[in-house]
Amino acid sequence: MNDRPSMDRRDFLRRTAATGMTLGLGGSLWGYRPARGQEAANERLNLAFIGVGGMGGSHLSNLSKDKRFEITGICELDARRRAMAVDRLKAAGRAEPQTHIDYKEVLARKDVDAVLVATPDHWHATIAIHAVRAGKDVYVEKPMSHDVEEGRILVNEAKKYGRKVQVGTQQRSDRNFRKAVEIVRSGQLGEIKKVRGWKNPRMLNLTDAGAIKNRAQQADIDWDRWLGPSPLIPFDYNRAHYAWRYFWDQGGGLMTDWGVHMIDILQWAMRSEKPLSVEATGTRAENSPMEVPYEIEAHYEFPGFGLAWLQGKKIERDPDDIMTDHGIAFIGSEAQLYVCRGQMPKIFPDTFKEQPIPDAVKLPVRGSHYDDWLACIKDRTLTPVAECAMGHTSTTTANLGNVAYRTGRKLKWDGEAEKFVGDDAANEMIKHKPRKPYTID
């Protein structure tokens, strides 16, 4: 009989959960495997990439293996990244695509059916809006927008032009999170008054080897275009390309990164789109030029329940102490459910007997996040699992948390008007104020 300590199992599961954050880069988080066989040439989707660093590079690696997609264009402001993307496609046996610096050239092409937008956050909504106006379907990375106002414009324009917009909140296509949503919606956990999301951040060091390796060279990048709608500043290799997420003009830190992913599932499961209020505190990294804090604790009031987002030292813990890197929790009157990447939902207490999910509660299944988007493009009666109205919901909630931190006070939110109640200063922070000529109109 082998009486190995139970902590061996916990350590294994904890390591699995901690590395779940890497699954997306390999395709597993999307539930994705390249389609087998050959798609007829006239049935392939002619796809152009706008941004091929970071997540854009990951998507390019995945879809270069998928014959349902004909990759016809690469738009990238960094010459080195642009060349690397072309080399990657050629190595995968693909034809050399046209390359661009100006994304509007891509949108003007008649041989492009859809675009995948994976730029830094401050460009997401502007490019996506112009794309739907040009008649293109869009896959846009999360967060869908950098401010609330441009997010609402994208929702309206996608509807007006009848375009299929899939937001890169790919956990909606992951079986673990979908199972959690179904359990919550089935009512088995009882009355849920508290939900939680958390991420234990990896501290960025702007002088370590990884940061130096990812620095853009000023001669290789169109810096004015990179800044785009954000204010004009001198070239800053801390922003291009390593840590732009931690400067307010280009990003929103972990709140609009992992926060959007986790908050998205919490709101999806609870069927609640509009918070009533938000307050937040946070701490910036010491002796760092980065403006956005690593540690944030944000508390939201929703009709009937409270939502907390925790990043930094103070994070939620599941009873087995497995999900120490990231996760979400639903605290019900009958049971508690915890889930993270790479782990099926865990329900406590251990004596809880999970019931079958009623057919009316089961979520439709269309495969991976890519599969889902492609199915909706081919059958225009379908709605993407992460369509832009839903992306706007979770992105807005995350953005409100950042505004609450920056103002240092509790804010009341009017979800219908998409404005803070009685707070002009806070409302200024959710307006779209682009630098010319990088405007939406």
| HSE (side-chain half, CA atoms, 13 Å) at 195 | 29
List the beta bridge partners of residue 99.
Answer: 74
Q: Are 341 and 172 in contact (CB under 8 A)?
A: no
> What's the CA angle centered on 70, arms 374 and 23, to 5 degrees?
60
Residue 406: predicted pLDDT: 98
Residue 30: predicted pLDDT: 45
- DSSP secondary-structure letter at 38? -
Q: How far is CA 395 from CA 134, 285, 386, 399, in A?
A: 24, 24, 12, 6
- Judging by beta carbons within 10 Å of its beta carbon (0-12, 13-18, 19+), is residue 234 exposed, middle or buried? exposed
Q: How far is CA 284 from CA 75, 206, 312, 344, in A?
A: 34, 14, 11, 33
> For residue 29, which of 305, 289, 265 has the smallest C-alpha distance?
265
Check whether the bond before 143 is cis (ω within 30° of 0): yes
Residue spans per domain, the chain: 18-171, 173-361+388-428
| HSE (side-chain half, CA atoms, 13 Å) at 99 | 16
Which CATH architecture describes the domain 18-171? Answer: 3-Layer(aba) Sandwich (3.40)
Cα 366 from Cα 350, distance rounded (Å)? 32
Residue 7: predicted pLDDT: 42
- Radius of gyration, alpha carbons of the chain: 21
Secondary structure E strands in 91-203: 98-100, 114-117, 137-140, 165-167, 192-199
**Domain at 173-361+388-428, CATH from 3.40.50.720, 3.40.640.10, 1.10.3720.10, 3.30.360.10:** 3.30.360.10
Alpha helices in 162-257 (DSSP H): 175-186, 209-213, 223-227
Strands laid side by side in the 114-117 sheet:
98-100, 69-75, 45-50, 114-117, 137-140, 165-167
Residue 20: predicted pLDDT: 47
Tokens standing for residue 174: 């992951």
Cα 154 from Cα 159, distance rounded (Å)? 8
- Judging by beta carbons within 10 Å of its beta carbon (0-12, 13-18, 19+), is residue 8 exposed, middle or buried? exposed
Q: Are 407 and 423 in contact (CB under 8 A)?
A: yes
Task: Report phi then psi at 97, rounded to 5.
Answer: -85, 160
Rounded average pLDDT per 10-residue block, the chain, 441 residues: 42 49 41 55 88 97 96 98 98 97 98 98 98 98 98 98 98 98 98 97 84 91 98 96 95 97 98 97 89 95 98 84 93 98 95 96 96 97 97 98 98 98 98 98 91
Cβ-based neighbours of 436, under 8 Å, separated by 6 or more: none
Q: How far is CA 359 from CA 190, 287, 362, 414, in A?
A: 19, 54, 5, 34
Tokens standing for residue 151: 């997010």
What's the count of helices (H) and strands (E) in the chain, helices before strands?
A: 14, 15
